[in-house]
Amino acid sequence: MSYAELYRQAQTDPQAFWAERAREIDWFRFPETILDQDANGAWRWYRGGVLNTCYLALDRHVAAGRGDDVALIYDSPATGQVQRFTFANLLEQVARTAGALKGLGVEKGDRVIIYMPMVPEAVIAMLACARIGAVHSVVFGGFAPPELATRIDDAEPKVLLTASCGIEFDRVIAYKPLVDAGVRQAKHKVSHVVVLQRAQCDAELRPGEHDWSQWLEAASPTDYVPVEATDPLYILYTSGTTGKPKGVVRDNGGHAVALNWSMQAIYGVDAGDVFWAASDVGWVVGHSYIAYGPLIRGCTSILYEGKPVRTPDAGAFWRVIAEHRVKSFFVAPTAYRAVKKEDPDCLLQAKYDISCLKYQFVAGERLDPPTYDWLVAHLPGVPVIDHWWQTETGWPICTNLAGVELLEPRTGSTNVPIPGYDLRILDEEGRELPPGTEGAVVIKGPLPPGSFPTLWRDHARFEEAYWSRYPGFYLTGDGGYRDADGYVFIMGRIDDVINVAGHRLSTGEMEEVVAAHPAVAECAVFGAEDADKGQVPLALVVLKDGANIEAGALQAELVQMVREQIGAIANFKRALVVKRLPKTRSGKILRQILRKMVDGKSYSMPSTIDDPAILDEIAGVLGVASGLRVG
């Protein structure tokens, strides 16, 4: 069937379309209703359906005789290991871990925080939670203790699972001191901490804390628990416009249906194929396409603990693709930019036979044309597919559907909307914009299965942040346009979220940290373009009267504060002192103008600005031509 026909079917009769996709997974009870609205008015898929996500990912493949097939390959240049887990192996370990969690009193609906590096136990823990209906919340290992504490307070977990360390190139990062600080800073008291001791670092355990291997030894395997389609599978926190992250909730039913279908329709893989998403389990890509999607579909998934470069060289990606016969590969453009920088002519690729690679997917940030051209040049015959999605949706919104029909690619576009997403481009007043005109990218409700039905214990924020700006339409937070043939071009965020090396971060949150410095009167943080990371944060800071600190020293202190409060992944390295920030006469900082200046773009001066001269001063500090035009 053609893409156009499939899209039309999903638009014309969504219930029939998604009922058909639902039949492609195994239910203990098929849903009574395909789509309806809950008491809050939120759309819910597959009410009345009963299933278990861990059963779909493991038990059913074993039952179907695929127990000896490889489910997960742990490839870790960081530790020099490659380890293969069959579906039967993985099931055994997951069932035992689930039993161990039950032993700590974890029951259906209880939360478990997983703060771990890229080790198999992280995926095992996720599946173990799913097995017993517990709700996991994975916290990316690069986040600092206050971020962990915020998540502990919001999710209120019974148990926190962690490891003694993570490995960043040749640096060993001890996790236990970070966990201790996070747990101490949180108001909610976690009942149990379990630590996986790794060979690279031994964590000191306090009384009452558990050693992972002893904890498992004492446990017995436990069976899966049937859950409702609408029961939560996990909470994943993501950056919003304020310091408080949003707890995106994923349900079990819609998630399993959408991911199962996406593996074949979008990524062009099926049971037995090898799929690799080089991300981290702490991000949505890791949830959907390292852990759940490939396993539900019966593919082999790769868990890669390493970087694209220096592990041992910039040929690491080619080595993994060749060694494990990867068919479909998904990574953020920033990772390929790192490879391109070290091996511009892609000479290291020649050492490997990557003829197995059929599709190259990229997402997570804008795919810049030079990186796209480089990939096309060095992957002859392999379609390079840019696809766009968000933590909130849980799976892609736009793509080229490798398993349906590959359309002619169009440089700069994220391809076309996936069946089930009714995408529109709106102006300020909510009018639909014609092709070629940039506006807010929104999706008409309902969102398809797999997308979030709410924010954890904050439905009011869900409504306010996503559905109130254009009632009936989901606000993606991205700006962009569509061309006359329906290809979608995503141009960047229109809110205070920035994308640094494929990591989503809140400038509002960084402002809260910077503003807490005793010498800072006020500040504004923006994403400045960066050749390697896509964007990096840049702070403009106004000092308090009488503050006696040298600009370099202030910058060093602010950098340290952001590392300690948010984490090194913020890549916060620059803070510039200015005399004032441009404001409207009513005192609002003109962030949009500053954003354009930081990007080196021209801007027009609104008539409401209180002091036009300040813009020239800031332009001087930024080292950009002021480009001032009176608007």
Least Å distance, CB 442 to ligand AMP, is 12
Least Å distance, CB 171 to ligand COA, is 7
Residues in binding contact with ligand COA, number by CB under 6 A: 24
**Residue 173 binds ligand COA (CB under 6 A):** yes
Considering CB distances under 5 to 8 angstroms, the limit depending on partner class, which of ligand AMP, ligand COA, none binds residue 400?
A: none
Site pattern 568..597 for ligand COA (x: CB under 6 A)? xx-x--------------------------
H or E, element range at 503? strand 503-506
Residue whose entry in the numeric block shows the structure tokens 């998630």: 255
Least Å distance, CB 506 to ligand AMP, is 11
List all residues 6 or more positions away from 288 whose beta carbon is below 8 Å from its beta carbon.
259, 394, 395
**SS3 for 571-591, per residue?**
CCCEEEECCCCCEECCCCECH
Phi first, then psi, for residue 161 (nearest 5°) are: -105, 135
The residue number whose beta carbon is nearest to ligand COA equals 364
Name residues contacting ligand COA, limited to 283-312 (CB under 6 A): 283, 285, 307-308
Q: Which of 53, 97, 137, 499 binds ligand AMP (CB under 6 A)?
A: 499
Least Å distance, CB 488 to ligand COA, is 18
Considering CB distances under 5 to 8 angstroms, the limit depending on partner class, which of ligand AMP, ligand COA, none binds residue 332?
A: ligand COA
Q: Which of 49, 157, 166, 254 binds ligand COA (CB under 6 A)?
A: 166
Least Å distance, CB 236 to ligand COA, is 12
CB 150 within 8 A of CB 245: yes
CB 56 within 8 A of CB 296: yes
CB atoms within 10 A of CB 340: 21
Half-sphere exposure of 10 (CA within 13 A, CB side): 21
Q: Which of 76, 279, 399, 476 binds ligand COA (CB under 6 A)?
A: 279
**Residue 239 binds ligand COA (CB under 6 A):** no
Least Å distance, CB 387 to ligand AMP, is 6
Residue nearer to ligand AMP on the CB measure, 478 or 509: 478
Residue among 76, 153, 80 nearest 119 (CA): 76
Considering CB distances under 5 to 8 angstroms, the limit depending on partner class, which of ligand AMP, ligand COA, none binds residue 238?
A: ligand AMP
Name residues contacting ligand AMP, limited to 404-423 (CB under 6 A): 414
Instruction: Record the tokens describing residue 314, joined without a space.
Output: 């910039």
CA 579, 585, 588, 594 torsion: positive or negative? negative
Q: Which of 284, 291, 354, 501 binds ligand AMP (CB under 6 A)?
A: 284
Q: Which of 31, 120, 141, 243 binds ligand COA (CB under 6 A)?
A: 141
Residue among 423, 359, 352, 356 nearest 389 (CA): 423
- Bridge partners of 361, per DSSP, are 330, 385
Which residue blocks in 241-332 are alpha helix, DSSP H?
253-265, 284-286, 293-297, 316-324
Name residues contacting ligand COA, limited to 483-512 (CB under 6 A): 501-503
Considering CB distances under 5 to 8 angstroms, the limit depending on partner class, which of ligand AMP, ligand COA, none binds residue 499?
A: ligand AMP
Torsion, CA 525, CA 530, CA 532, CA 535, rounded to 10: 40
Least Å distance, CB 218 to ligand AMP, is 38
Considering CB distances under 5 to 8 angstroms, the limit depending on partner class, which of ligand AMP, ligand COA, none binds residue 307?
A: ligand COA
Q: Which of 478, 495, 496, 509 binds ligand AMP (CB under 6 A)?
A: 478
CB 247 within 8 A of CB 272: no
Least Å distance, CB 365 to ligand COA, is 7
H or E, element range at 228? strand 227-228
List all residues 6 or more positions away from 32 whose beta carbon is below 8 Å from its beta carbon.
47, 48, 49
**Residue 182 binds ligand COA (CB under 6 A):** no
Name residues contacting ligand AMP, limited to 207-246 (CB under 6 A): 238
Residue 550, judged by CB atoms within 10 A of its CB (0-12, 13-18, 19+), counts as: exposed
Considering CB distances under 5 to 8 angstroms, the limit depending on partner class, which of ligand AMP, ligand COA, none binds residue 335?
A: ligand COA
Site pattern 317..356 for ligand COA (x: CB under 6 A)? ---------------x-xx--x------------------
Q: Which of 493, 517, 533, 595 binds ligand AMP (CB under 6 A)?
A: 493
Torsion, CA 96, CA 100, CA 105, CA 111, rounded to 10: -80
Least Å distance, CB 569 to ligand COA, is 4
Q: How far is CA 435 from CA 87, 332, 421, 425, 526, in A?
A: 48, 28, 18, 9, 29
Q: Which residues of 170-199 are buried (b: 16+ CB within 10 A; e: fewer)?
A: eeebbbbebbbbbbeebeeebebbbbbbbe
Name residues contacting ligand AMP, limited to 142-201 (CB under 6 A): none
Least Å distance, CB 398 to ligand COA, is 15
Considering CB distances under 5 to 8 angstroms, the limit depending on partner class, which of ligand COA, ligand AMP, none binds residue 246?
A: none
Q: Which of 327, 504, 533, 595 binds ligand AMP (CB under 6 A)?
A: 504
- Bridge partners of 246, per DSSP, are 238
CB atoms within 10 A of CB 203: 22
DSSP assignment, residue 602?
A: -
Considering CB distances under 5 to 8 angstroms, the limit depending on partner class, which of ligand AMP, ligand COA, none binds residue 134?
A: none
Q: Helix, strand or coil for residue 52?
A: coil
The one-letter code for the residue type at 368 is D
Name residues contacting ligand AMP, limited to 357-396 (CB under 6 A): 363-366, 386-391
CB 176 within 8 A of CB 195: yes
Q: Where does this chain bind ligand AMP (CB under 6 A)?
A: 238, 284, 363-366, 386-391, 414, 477-478, 490, 493, 499, 504
Q: Where does this chain bind ligand COA (CB under 6 A)?
A: 141-142, 166, 168, 173, 279-280, 283, 285, 307-308, 332, 334-335, 338, 363-364, 501-503, 533, 568-569, 571
